[in-house]
Amino acid sequence: MNGEFLAASVAIARRHLYKWIKVPANFMPTFIFPLIFFTGFAGSLGRIGNVPGFDYPASYTTWIFVFSLLQTCLFGGLATGFTIAAEFQTGFARRLMLAVSDRRAILFGYILSTFVRAAIMSGVVTTVAFTVGLDMSASTPVEVVGLYLLSWSMSIVGTLWAAGVMFRARDPQLGPAMQIPMFIAIFLAPVYVPLALLQGWLHAVASANPIGYVMTAGRNLLVGSTEGVFIAIVAAISMILLLTWWALGGVRSAERAGG
Say whether pLDDT at 45 is over 80: no
Is the C-alpha dihedral spanning 109, 149, 130, 29 positive or negative? positive
201-256 residue pLDDT tens: 999 999 999 999 999 999 999 999 999 999 999 999 999 999 999 999 999 998 88
| CB burial of residue 40 (10 Å; 0-12, 13-18, 19+) | exposed
Closest CA to 136 of 194, 78, 210, 61: 61
Is the C-alpha dihedral spanning 12, 17, 20, 23 positive or negative? negative
When the pLDDT of each residue in the chain is averaged and rounded to a whole number, the result is: 88
3-state helix, strand, coil in the chain (%, to 5): 80, 0, 20
164-181 residue pLDDT tens: 999 998 888 888 889 899
223: three-class secondary structure by DSSP: coil
Say whether pLDDT at 189 is over 60: yes
Q: Per this entry, what is the length of the chain?
A: 259
What pTM did the predictor assign?
0.91
Q: d(Cα 161, Cα 79) in Å, to the nearest integer?
A: 11
Find out whether 64 and 41 touch, Cβ atoms under 8 Å: yes
pLDDT band at 25 (very low <50, low <70, confident <90, very high): low
Could you give phi then psi for residue 53, rounded to 5 degrees? 95, -10
In this predicted structure, what is the pLDDT of residue 32?
75
Say whether pLDDT at 26 is over 70: no
Q: d(Cα 248, Cα 230) in Å, to the nearest integer?
A: 27
119-149 residue pLDDT tens: 999 998 899 889 888 889 888 999 999 999 9
Say whether pLDDT at 197 is over 70: yes
Amino acid at 258: G
Percent of the chain with pLDDT over 90: 48
Could you give phi then psi for residue 232, rounded to 5 degrees? -65, -40
CA dist 157 → 69, 81, 201, 210, 251 (Å):
14, 12, 25, 11, 16
63-122 residue pLDDT tens: 999 999 999 999 889 889 888 988 888 888 888 888 888 889 999 999 999 999 999 999
Q: From start to end of the chain, where are the E strands?
A: none
Say whether pLDDT at 259 is over 60: no
